[in-house]
Amino acid sequence: MDAGDPQDIPLARRTVPTALQRRFSWRNALIGAGGVVLVAAGAALVMPQPLRRLLAPPPVQGLRARLSIDGRLLGHFPYGEAPRGDLVAIAPGVELHRDAAAALEAMQAAAAAEGIDIRVLSAFRSIALQKQIFFDVKSERNQSALERAQVSAPPGFSEHSTGYAVDLGDGRAPSTDLSTSFDGTEAFRWLQANANRFHFHLSFPQSNRQGVSYEPWHWRFEGSADALKVFEPSQRLQR
């Protein structure tokens, strides 16, 4: 017999079924594509990464909700915390990413020149502070965590943690602060007409595809390559 004849292969090695060999080849290919293999009842099952996220424990303790396929939690994308060195003070106890702060200052000055008083109500919030606010307000309002998450981002999922997001109000209409009635103010109308010139965009307009509650006061800065990269998943969803 020729050296390459199958009969020269020991019996124990020749009895592995060809179909089973193909199965394991597919398994290896799927692992390389980002899946994970589970072994149950002697069979190899492949679980893709998105399914792993769905089956993983909830990402926020005390909130019975899991990530969607695209990584969102109840509509909110995950966001890291801005490095302290990137933040600058824009008012006592209020910080913002230096790029966003410069653009915000220019925007406020332009609005003031037209008689519009744009006030900053909130800016950078650490993940720890977001956690405190999220659960404290939930308790004060007697809300469940799921109810609270419909109107406020859970910790680790807030744009404020990036240092690029601000909550804005009208200095002449403080009763509309953090209310949907803000969209009836002169400040909001000015922002609609001019904010894009300063690279600020409304994060959660009415009927947004993220399914997040309408927040006319919440604007984010997208005027740098880093900021665009941070918010790219949200932008892609809106297209």
SS (H, E, C) 133-185: HHHHHHHHCCCCHHHHHHHCCCCCCCHHHHCCEEEEEECCCHHHCCCHHHHHC
Q: Please indicate, yes or no, if residue 103 is contained in any of the structural domains.
A: yes
Which DSSP helix (H) or strand (E) runs through 122? strand 118-122
Q: How far is Cα 229 from Cα 97, in angstroms, rounded to an integer? A: 15
Range of the domain at 121: 84-238
Q: Please indicate, yes or no, if residue 1 is contained in any of the structural domains.
A: no
Quick one: which of 100, 72, 84 has its CA closest to 236? Answer: 72
Same domain membership, residue 92 and residue 28 = no
What are the phi and psi torsion angles at 152 (to 5°)? -145, 135
**How confident is the model over 7-60, as pLDDT tens digits?**
443 433 333 444 444 444 444 444 444 544 444 444 445 545 555 555 566 677
Four-point Cα dihedral 140, 141, 144, 148, nearest 10: -100
Q: Please indicate, yes or no, if residue 64 is contained in any of the structural domains.
A: no
Same domain membership, residue 112 and residue 175 = yes
**How confident is the model over 131-185, as pLDDT tens digits?**
888 887 777 777 777 777 777 888 999 999 999 999 999 999 999 999 999 999 9
Question: How many domains is the chain built from?
Answer: 2
Q: Report pLDDT for 178.
A: 93
Count CB-CB contacts under 10 A for residue 203.
Answer: 21
Please tell me whether residue 63 adopts helix, strand or coil conformation. coil
Please tell me the least confidently modeled range out of 11-15, 128-132, 199-203, 212-216.
Answer: 11-15
Q: Report pLDDT for 56.
A: 61
Alpha helices per DSSP H over the chain: 11-14, 18-32, 49-55, 98-113, 127-140, 145-151, 186-194, 225-238
Residue corresponding to tokens 């069979």: 43
Q: What is the CATH number of the domain that holds 166?
A: 3.30.1380.10
Examine the pLDDT at 6 and tell me if it is beyond 60.
no
Same domain membership, residue 104 and residue 219 = yes
User: Please, are residues 74 and 150 in contact by the beta-carbon 8 Å criterion?
Assistant: yes
Same domain membership, residue 144 and residue 192 = yes
Quick one: which of 191, 216, 221, 222 has its CA closest to 204? Answer: 216
Alpha carbons within 13 angstroms on the beta-carbon side of residue 223 total 23
Q: What is the pTM of this model?
A: 0.74
Q: Please indicate, yes or no, if residue 61 is contained in any of the structural domains.
A: no
Please tell me whether residue 88 adopts helix, strand or coil conformation. strand
Tokens of 24: 């394991």
Which span out of 61-65, 68-72, 121-125, 132-136 was modeled with the highest average pLDDT? 121-125
Q: Please indicate, yes or no, if residue 122 is contained in any of the structural domains.
A: yes
